[in-house]
A and B are shown apart, each in its own frame.
Chain A
């Protein structure tokens, strides 16, 4: 049913395109402190927050001050979450009487949510009290996203400002991202989710007696309020273990569409925010175009792989062809309402961005179907990307692309009229190199240690993919998983913390430094030799650079995992 796939992907792409433009322009107004419709309600709240916290909204920060504020704020939130997890048994809103979270798991979760990774080494419904879910996890869902947006806005300012020392005030950007962008969308979105069936209550788990007389205990909780911001902030930490595959998190095709849209909305919108702030909307469209190209290619490839199914099932005499009455394909780990198309589409979307929420189990995907999410993360999550981090990641790649174009024609590269020189290239390369280092080094270490190998649950090449995927998502701050890996063990809890923290902050800081360095430069007027960065040729160059960088870095590892497994599967080899 490729027609069906094209149609559903097409509808989604159309909705994203339509929503992203007004949202992006709105965000530009918010962060340039222009008037918006929500001002009468939100201005007083904003002023109250500044007064309570001692923020001086008029003072701007240098890139180093901005980065320091991000680090301190993230650290404070991380400690609060750690404390909540460790003490939840004596705190309110814990009707199930869940005990304290183990030390290594609690720390892993705190780092995971503070870095917008939202990797879950725990099952929500049996580990976290309602208070931890709300005051700990929901809070981080908001602020880790807001930190990302703030950083992206600061980087944009760095690119577009001329001869400036500062790149904005972090506290102001943070507050405005929360109040003007995230909270209003969540208020409306959460209610739509409840209407469709997502629970929102504080009651104890329900004891039911099933039709056949068995006992079924049904987990409850304030799900909707966390679910919406989980997607909107590209967080991905589910209320329940099964994440958005759980019918309470994602009950209908409509919620599935809304959740997918929420994942892409802000990152896609930020490209237009960039275009507007840079004074040339086509600059934003060029980034949007490069991202959209990579997204569509990935989505169709993943759908094709999953729809083709598992030849090992066919060998049992099973049919995997789609019809009007069933989806066919590889349905292991997938829900009926999502079928093949929406499961594979979601897997692409959640790894294009740093979301990591899943509506199907990636571990049970076909080798190539699971390769697409892995590759999306290895590309650096810049296909729309994480809220904020996707845009500054893409801007770093843009700098790299103009540099390579400059080398080809023998001219000093420029972007937005700023000369890209030694310092900028060093920072961009730092950004590009830290990423594989925090992924491949620990993944390699895991493959040669007993503790690393002990967690593998699928034998053969798939087992290596489980490990590679875990460290890739950690470095990329994604949070999705080949979830069979028994990662709730001290070795993984601590090593993944390192990857998550360095993948977040050691990449955000070079990006901010790059922005700070560019902010101080004068702009040179474009000449006949200037490479235009708002047209089709730039889009093609950018896509090429992105793919080559990712392929050179990760292909050797990928060849040992999904690619070998694909060949084995075709040959009927089982492990």
Chain B
């Protein structure tokens, strides 16, 4: 009985300490030290929030770099992978149709040239990045749509490529939203050309 009373008191005291004081204090400190990140690394253009640097978006216009396939449809309220197994016919059919889309969007490409990340759905459905190879594949299309040189586009891609950490950890990636934003600034496309 005494043990039960202690257990209940302990639960209350530790809930206040760990469940309220600690996270609320962290909110205050984080806001003070890293206001941008603590609020979700949002990207604001003019008065509008256009997204977060860390959250991927769907792009379909030829003048934009396209993100990876997403099982969540880039709904940032419902992150999810496809959870399709490797021998599930639905997975292979999905990859086949994604591959067809990539080949159609980027004429002159062969299946063997298509990086695997462009035809597979990410784990979160919100992957903000594509591999440098997946960006390179799209350079000719984007350059043509924007009527600028491939060299100019490549320069921007390079600028938004994140290398491995300390040259060792993780994999290199290209932030699609930031890259497309920069493209809009460097070489705006008319409304028609976007579609």
Indicate if the CB atoms of B84 and A484 lie closer than 8 Å. Answer: yes
Indicate if the CB atoms of B87 and A573 lie closer than 8 Å. Answer: yes
The listed residue (A69, A318, A361, A363) touching B119 by CB distance below 8 A is A318
Indicate if the CB atoms of B170 and A142 lie closer than 8 Å. Answer: no
A323-B133, A361-B123, A462-B87 are known contacts. Are A183 and B22 too (CB-CB below 8 A)?
yes
The closest CB in chain B to the CB of A207 belongs to B49
Distance in angstroms between the alpha carbons of A84 and B100 in the assembled complex:
48
Indicate if the CB atoms of A80 and B86 lie closer than 8 Å. Answer: no
CB under 8 Å from chain B, chain A span 328-386: 328-339, 341-343, 358-361, 363-367
CB under 8 Å from chain B, chain A span 43-93: 49, 52-55, 65, 68-69, 72-73, 75-77, 80
Query: Number of B residues contacting the other chain (C-beta, 8 Å)?
Result: 110
Does chain A have a CB within 8 A of B145? no
Of B8, B20, B86, most buried by chain A (CB within 10 Å of CB) is B86
Q: How far is the CB of A412 from chain B (nearest CB, A)?
A: 37
Indicate if the CB atoms of B181 and A211 lie closer than 8 Å. Answer: yes
Q: How far is the CB of B193 from chain A (nearest CB, A)?
A: 13
The listed residue (A201, A242, A575) touching B88 by CB distance below 8 A is A575
Distance in angstroms between the alpha carbons of A328 and B41 in the assembled complex:
29
Does chain B have a CB within 8 A of A202? yes
Q: How far is the CB of A467 from chain B (nearest CB, A)?
A: 13
Of A208, A256, A312, A574, most buried by chain B (CB within 10 Å of CB) is A208
The closest CB in chain B to the CB of A49 belongs to B13
Chain A positions within 8 Å of B124 at CB level: 240, 242, 245-247, 335
A211-B184, A317-B110 are known contacts. Are A251 and B14 too (CB-CB below 8 A)?
no
The closest CB in chain B to the CB of A133 belongs to B23
Q: How far is the CB of A167 from chain B (nearest CB, A)?
A: 15
The listed residue (A53, A136, A341, A461) touching B19 by CB distance below 8 A is A136
Indicate if the CB atoms of B123 and A218 lie closer than 8 Å. Answer: no
Q: How far is the CB of A179 from chain B (nearest CB, A)?
A: 9
Does chain A have a CB within 8 A of B138? no
Indicate if the CB atoms of B37 and A245 lie closer than 8 Å. Answer: no
Chain A positions within 8 Å of B13 at CB level: 49, 52-53
A80-B11, A332-B82 are known contacts. Are A199 and B38 too (CB-CB below 8 A)?
yes
Indicate if the CB atoms of B22 and A186 lie closer than 8 Å. Answer: yes
Distance in angstroms between the alpha carbons of A324 and B49 in the assembled complex:
34
The listed residue (A7, A142, A335, A484) touching B18 by CB distance below 8 A is A142
Q: How far is the CB of A526 from chain B (nearest CB, A)?
A: 39
A195-B37, A361-B123, A569-B87 are known contacts. Are A336 and B131 too (CB-CB below 8 A)?
yes
Indicate if the CB atoms of B51 and A216 lie closer than 8 Å. Answer: yes
Chain B positions within 8 Å of A304 at CB level: none
Does chain A have a CB within 8 A of B155? no
Query: Number of A residues contacting the other chain (C-beta, 8 Å)?
Result: 131
The closest CB in chain A to the CB of B173 belongs to A336
Indicate if the CB atoms of B34 and A194 lie closer than 8 Å. Answer: yes
Indicate if the CB atoms of A363 and B22 lie closer than 8 Å. Answer: no
A484-B85, A574-B89 are known contacts. Are A65 and B38 too (CB-CB below 8 A)?
no
Q: How far is the CB of B105 from chain A (nearest CB, A)?
A: 15
Distance in angstroms between the alpha carbons of A360 and B81 in the assembled complex:
8
Indicate if the CB atoms of A76 and B87 lie closer than 8 Å. Answer: no
A203-B39, A214-B58, A222-B27 are known contacts. Are A319 and B112 too (CB-CB below 8 A)?
yes
Does chain A have a CB within 8 A of B142? no
A53-B6, A222-B26, A337-B171 are known contacts. Are A246 and B126 too (CB-CB below 8 A)?
yes
Chain B positions within 8 Å of A247 at CB level: 54-56, 124, 126-128
Q: How far is the CB of B20 from chain A (nearest CB, A)?
A: 6
A211-B64, A225-B23, A320-B116 are known contacts. Are A568 and B10 too (CB-CB below 8 A)?
no
Indicate if the CB atoms of B76 and A328 lie closer than 8 Å. Answer: no
Indicate if the CB atoms of B40 and A248 lie closer than 8 Å. Answer: yes
Chain B positions within 8 Å of A251 at CB level: 54
Does chain B have a CB within 8 A of A449? no
The closest CB in chain A to the CB of B51 belongs to A208
The listed residue (A53, A123, A326, A459) touching B115 by CB distance below 8 A is A326
The listed residue (A69, A171, A211, A569) touching B59 by CB distance below 8 A is A211
Does chain B have a CB within 8 A of A134? yes
The listed residue (A65, A197, A337, A363) touching B84 by CB distance below 8 A is A363
Does chain B have a CB within 8 A of A254? yes
Does chain B have a CB within 8 A of A190? yes
Distance in angstroms between the alpha carbons of A226 and B26 in the assembled complex:
10
Indicate if the CB atoms of A11 and B169 lie closer than 8 Å. Answer: yes
The closest CB in chain B to the CB of A315 belongs to B92
CB under 8 Å from chain B, chain A span 263-321: 309-310, 312-313, 316-320
Distance in angstroms between the alpha carbons of A206 and B51 in the assembled complex:
9
Distance in angstroms between the alpha carbons of A197 and B74 in the assembled complex:
19
Indicate if the CB atoms of A197 and B64 lie closer than 8 Å. Answer: no
Does chain B have a CB within 8 A of A501? no
CB under 8 Å from chain A, chain B span 153-195: 162, 164-165, 168-173, 177, 180-181, 184, 194
Indicate if the CB atoms of B83 and A482 lie closer than 8 Å. Answer: yes
Indicate if the CB atoms of B126 and A364 lie closer than 8 Å. Answer: no
A134-B20, A212-B61, A574-B89 are known contacts. Are A241 and B80 too (CB-CB below 8 A)?
yes
- 13 residue pairs from A and B, CB less than 8 Å apart: A65-B3, A76-B7, A222-B26, A224-B38, A245-B81, A317-B99, A326-B116, A331-B120, A332-B84, A341-B171, A361-B123, A363-B81, A363-B84
- Give 4 nearest A-B pairs by CB, closest first: A253-B170, A245-B123, A317-B111, A339-B171
- A residues in contact (CB < 8 Å) with B: 7-8, 11, 49, 52-55, 65, 68-69, 72-73, 75-77, 80, 123, 125-126, 134-136, 138-139, 142-143, 171, 174, 178, 183, 186-187, 190-191, 194-203, 205-212, 214, 216-220, 222, 224-226, 240-242, 245-248, 251-254, 256-257, 309-310, 312-313, 316-320, 323-339, 341-343, 358-361, 363-367, 457-462, 465-466, 482-484, 565, 568-569, 573-575
Known A126-B78, A325-B133; further 16 A-B contacts with Cβ < 8 A: A54-B5, A134-B23, A205-B77, A206-B40, A208-B50, A218-B51, A224-B30, A245-B79, A247-B128, A312-B86, A318-B95, A319-B113, A333-B82, A335-B123, A336-B117, A575-B88
